[in-house]
Amino acid sequence: MKFNTYRLSEVITLEDARREPLSAEQRAARKGIYPYYGAQGVVDYLDDYTFVGDKLLVAEDGENLRSNKQPIANWATGKFRVNNHAHVLCGSPFCNLRYLCYLLNEMNLSAYITGSTQPKLSQKSLLNIEISLPSRNLQDKIVSFIQPIDNKVTCLTRTNGHLLELIKTEFARRFENEDTATCGLGEVANIWNKTVKPTNIPGTLWEHYSIPAFDAEQYPSYELGDTIKSNKYEVVSNSILVSKLNPSTRRLWIPQLIDEKSAICSTEFMEYVPNNPKEYSFYCSALLQDRFFSYLAGHVTGSTGSRQRVHPSDTLAYEVPNPDASEILNYCNYADPLIKQLRNSSIERQKLTQLRAVLLPKLMSGEIDASKVELPTPPTQTAPTNGRLSE
């Protein structure tokens, strides 16, 4: 597989001049349907747009440039705006933009990043990045191989978002009103905090629910005991994990529990376990509500955002809906299948993500011969018949 080396300036055009920084006050007066992108994705929706089509957005600044917890290059399509925290790239006959997106997210760009307190990738540094590209035909074939996996992962991520919203909304409709009786959270659930020291069992592969894993993909990492230096909590079935760290950042995790015997979580999580396992989805839904996270935010200790925490025992006084058992059962009959689907979707998404992580470097390096990948032939469309489009 033959590669040619280019500076980024030789294979893309930059459209940064059309970016527009807008303050929160300005955006509040211009709410609409068009995405407004920042360094790591959509930050708002506005009433008009400045870009149309497919663009590659590369973060210009932010901590993520050094930590790489999230991709620094992201895809944008349709009609949208971009603020001044992301560079806007267009492709050329030499460069498939999606291939470039994959490539930049695989590369170590630390040599091009400046700033000690606030990392920055300037326009000059961006355009000087050296990249190695195969032929445009091979780029297209690699993209055709990987893009369906990306599309499926995106679909599963959106599905989980919709499932959570359905659960949250239906619970609020039924129970978040003045007519519903309430009780303290501590009357219907307890906080599980059995400590585990993974280094005592070094050969065990632990299913590790950590804050970084939640922030990255909301899927546990798998680590050997001798690599986990600090104590953790045992994760049990029917548990609900809620971060006590900086509760203004909402972190509620419904564990997948591939192997309950070796599941652990960060001690920054509060692990709630309902007294009645059959009512699990009811209390999951109760803790998903905005009201619960507002309660957490009102009970933090610590003066700075990075050190603010809520004390677990304080949360047990939170008033949760407490309807008749028959109403709880009726709701669980609705929510249980959604929780099950959410877990299954998370597992499938992670399997696809791992498959992509294995395949992409091998395709881009030539270890897997992309020239043998057959590009799909677009379907031939005929004239509409009876209002339908035939293929």
4-133 shares its CATH topology with 158-333:
yes
Q: Domain 4-133 has what CATH class?
A: alpha beta
pLDDT at 378: 47
Closest by CA to 233, choosing from 269, 264, 256, 205, is: 264
The radius of gyration computed from the CA coordinates of the chain, to the nearest angstrom, equals 24
Average confidence (pLDDT) over 4-20:
94
Average confidence (pLDDT) over 48-57:
95
Average confidence (pLDDT) over 366-387:
60
Question: What's the pLDDT tens digit per position in 138-196?
Answer: 999 999 999 999 999 999 999 999 999 999 999 999 999 989 999 999 999 999 999 99
pLDDT at 374: 66
What CA–CA distance (Å, rounded) separates 221 from 207?
A: 6
pLDDT at 304: 64
Pairing of strands 240-243, 205-209: unpaired
Contact partners, residue 189, CB within 8 Å, separation at least 6: 272, 273, 274, 275, 283
Contact call for residues 35 and 75 (beta carbons, < 8 A): no
What CA–CA distance (Å, rounded) separates 22 from 357?
A: 36
Please give the backbone phi and psi of residue 82, each rounded to the nearest 5 degrees, phi first: -135, 140
Record: fold of 158-333: Adenine-n6-DNA-methyltransferase TaqI; Chain A, domain 2 (3.90.220)
Lowest mean pLDDT among 1-5, 47-51, 226-230: 1-5
Comparing 389 with 38, the larger pLDDT belongs to 38
pLDDT at 259: 75
Question: What's the pLDDT tens digit per position in 208-217?
Answer: 999 989 987 8
What is the crossing angle of helices 325-365 and 280-288, to 10°? 70
Closest by CA to 196, choosing from 233, 235, 223, is: 233
Return mean pLDDT, the chain. 91
pLDDT at 292: 97
- What are the domain boundaries of the chain? 4-133, 158-333
Looking at the predicted structure, is the pLDDT value of residue 305 above 60?
A: no
Q: Please list, residue by residue across 278-293, b when 16 or more beta carbons sit within 10 angstroms of its beta carbon and e when fewer do.
A: ebbbbbbbbbbbeebb
pLDDT at 383: 40
Tell me the two tokens of residue 76: 């944008």
Looking at the predicted structure, is the pLDDT value of residue 36 above 60?
A: yes
pLDDT band for position 376 (50/70/90)? Answer: low
pLDDT at 1: 77
Question: What's the pLDDT tens digit per position in 110-137?
Answer: 999 998 788 999 999 999 999 999 999 9
